[in-house]
Structure formats: structure tokens, C-alpha cells
Amino acid sequence: MSHSPDPNEDDLGTIPASHPVFHAEQALLGALLFDPRLLGDVTGISADSWSTAAHASLFAAISALPPPDPNEHRKTTAWLTQVLAAAREEARGLSASYLHTLIQVCPWPRHAAAYARMVEAEHARRRLRDATGLLVQTVHDVSLPEPVEAVLAEADALAAVVDDIATRFPPRAGILPRTPVPPPNAAADPTEAVEEEQLLLATATARPADIESVRWLLAEDFTQPLHAGLWQCLTALARRHEPVDPVTVLWEAQQRGLLHDGSEPSGVLRLLAEPAGSVGHWGQRALTRSLLAAADQAGRRIQAYSDDPMNTPFQLVAGARRALADIGAIRTRWQHATGHSLPQPARAARAGPAARHAPAVSPPARPVAAGRTP
């Protein structure tokens, strides 16, 4: 997660101190300041892994500066002074007292790898939330000339983030988020969808031979339950090679119980009696709406998962992949319908520093801090 801090501020209020990751970050930085050699045990952490710009600046300084001689570090704060000077180039609000506070609040420096894992897990949650936000935002951007292509590109980017997280937190079998799934978003203005679905049904009734050419269209792509049911009636009659007209479709609808919701037979007949355009055109319009709705639902579902602190990275990966699979299924049908085959982007390599291994040595005593003896 990138930061653009005011260099005159310490940025330490970005994440409430009551949030566990804030304390994990403090503990990790304190461990590294206490014993810089522990940096070799820390993997998967980079400058954008931190919740505050001040912490990111400190980590960057610790990573960039040569580690001090352990015996010298045990006696003086010279290396801490260098770290502070380097970090203040990006976060001028940092103070020497805060570095000493970090050392003091670290429970056990030898647990640095565990603290790093916590920081990395929270960073994974933020990355997933940010990528999902872009997907949902793109779904609702009415200014896009090619909305499907743009949405699928964001879905691919989100999938790459999920794959990247999975390299560090592989999903475990049977571990899915327990977060309640949000209900589907109601269309802001369903009028257009209703009218186009009616035209599709009427045109398919008038030209049943064209139904076979839109086998990629499913009942679930319709926004209205009655329309979905009538499409099933049409495809069933066509598949059985039975006569298709408004009356035969109405009779099939009765057999399937579609009129039990109070739909008037005369209203169904009127709906099926006004064809226009082509079945393929209206079918593609319905499928496009269905794809965008699926992307919106998948995005909001993943957002709900990432907003729930009870979900582990393992669960986030499993839940996100399950949600993205719903987009993938409709994407395949959309490509068959339109003849557009969008290239799959290369999966991004995992960001972060390469694994380092420090020698197994005992940490030095804590360096002298203000008001504290070593």
C-alpha cells in the first residue's frame, strides 16, 4: 500500500493504536532496532507492507544501512542515530524517543519472524481490499467505452493479487470465510434491462430457430424471475422441437408454475407478441449485464471478506478464488457470444525482499535508551 505522507508529520495516527497490526509493527521494528541481525529472519516485508509511512521509512532505513558491530551496538546508540537520520528524510516527524519506545515495547526480539508474518498478513488484507475496490469502481463507471473489457482487466489484476498472496499464504482445504455474503446489488434503473429482456423473449418466440445460436445465454442472466422462467420455457420447447408461439410458451409456463405468482396470462401474451431486432443482439446485452452484475457481486463479496478481521490470509485466498470463479464462468460464455478472446495477463511475481538468513547468534543486550540502563 503506497503512502504519500506529509514529511513534517509522523503519520503514526493512520492506524488506531488499538489495532493489533500497529502493535505487531512496533514489535517488529523494535526487534530490528534492538538486534539488526534479525533482519535476516524477516521475509515477505517491503516498504509498502506497513500501515504508516513512519514505520515504512524506519524499515527502509534499517534495511538500507549496514548492520552495526554487535559489541558496538550493545554499548552505544550510534547506529540508531543513523537510522533516525535516514528515516527522517521521508518522515521528518520521527523522533529519537519513538525509536527507543519501539525497543522498549518489543516483548521478545527473537519473535521477529512471527511479528513479520503478522505485518505481512495485514498487508495482504489491504492489498486485496484495494484491488477489489478498483474492480467494484470500474463496474459502476458509466463513462467507460468498453466496460466489459475494463472490468475483466480489473478482475485479472485482482486475480494476480490473490495468486501473489497465495504464494505466501497457500489456501488450506476446506478453509473458507464464514463472513456473510452480501445480497446482490439492485440495479439503479432496471427499466432498460426489463424492456430489453422483453424484446429478447418476444423476438425468440417469433424466431425460435435462432434460439440455438444463443446457447450461451442462461436463465440466470435475466434480471426478472418471470423472464428467466419464460426463457427456460422457450429453450425447452425448442429443444423438444415443439411448436413455439406465444400460446405454446404460455402453456409451458403454466406447466412450470410460472403463473402462480399472480402473473396474468394476457400480460404474458402481450409481452411475447412484440418482437424487434435479433435474438443474438438482445442476448448479448443480457449477458453483458449479467457479467457486470457478477463482477460487482464478486467484488463486494471479497470486500466483505477482507473487511472481516477474523478471516486469515488462507481464508481470504480461498474465498476470493471462489468468488472470482463466478466471473470466470460468465467470462467464458461472453467470449463465446462475442467472439472476443481477451489475453490473460502474466501473473505478477511476489513483491518483497528476497529471503535472507542470519547466522545463529545470541542477540546483544538492548542498546542504551533514554532513561534506561542497558
Q: Kindly give the confidence (pLDDT) of every residue in the chain, 374 residues in length, as a single tens digit, with 9 standing for 90 and above.
A: 344 444 444 455 444 556 889 999 999 999 999 999 999 989 889 888 998 999 999 999 999 999 999 999 988 999 999 999 999 998 888 999 999 999 999 999 999 999 999 999 999 999 999 999 999 999 999 999 999 999 999 999 999 999 999 999 887 777 888 898 888 876 666 899 999 999 999 999 999 999 999 999 999 999 999 999 999 999 999 999 999 999 999 999 999 999 887 789 999 999 999 999 999 999 999 999 999 999 999 999 999 999 999 999 999 999 999 999 999 999 999 999 988 665 555 444 333 333 333 333 344 455 554 434 33
DSSP 169-235: SPPPTT----SPPPPPPPPS-THHHHHHHHHHHHHHHH-GGGGGGGTT--GGG-SSHHHHHHHHHHH
Cα distances (Å, whole numbers) of residue 67 to 22, 80, 289, 313: 25, 10, 57, 32
Q: Which amino acid appears at position 67 of this protein?
A: P
Q: List the helix and strand counts (H, then E) for the chain.
A: 13, 0
Q: Which amino acid appears at position 204 of this protein?
A: A
Reported in sequence order, the residue ranges of the chain that DSSP labels E, i.e. its strands, are none
Closest C-alpha among 292, 295, 301, 324 to residue 183: 301
Q: Do residues 222 and 254 lie in contact, with contact meaning Cβ atoms separated by under 8 Å?
A: no
What φ, ψ does residue 372 adopt, rounded to 5°?
Answer: -140, 135
**Per residue in 192-226, pLDDT tens?**
999 999 999 999 999 999 999 999 999 999 999 99
Question: Rounded to an integer, what distance in angstroms lies between the CA atom of residue 90 and that of residue 85?
Answer: 10
Q: Do residues 45 and 21 lie in contact, with contact meaning Cβ atoms separated by under 8 Å?
A: no
The 10 Å Cβ neighbour count of residue 309 is 11
Predicted TM-score of the model (pTM): 0.80
Domains and CATH numbers, the chain: 191-286 (1.10.860.10)
Q: Do residues 158 and 131 lie in contact, with contact meaning Cβ atoms separated by under 8 Å?
A: yes
Closest C-alpha among 174, 185, 159 to residue 294: 185
Residue 185: HSE in the Cβ half-sphere, 13 Å Cα cutoff: 18
Helix, strand and coil content of the chain, in percent to the nearest 5, comes to 60, 0, 35
DSSP code for 35: -
Q: What is the pLDDT of residue 262?
A: 78
Q: Do residues 364 and 71 lie in contact, with contact meaning Cβ atoms separated by under 8 Å?
A: yes
- Helix/strand/coil for 69: coil
139 Cβ partners below 8 Å, 6+ apart?
A: 147, 151, 292, 295, 296, 299
**Per residue in 77-90, pLDDT tens?**
999 999 999 999 98
Question: Rounded to an integer, what distance in angstroms lies between the CA atom of residue 46 and that of residue 57?
Answer: 10
Look up residue 269 and give its three cell numbers: 401474451
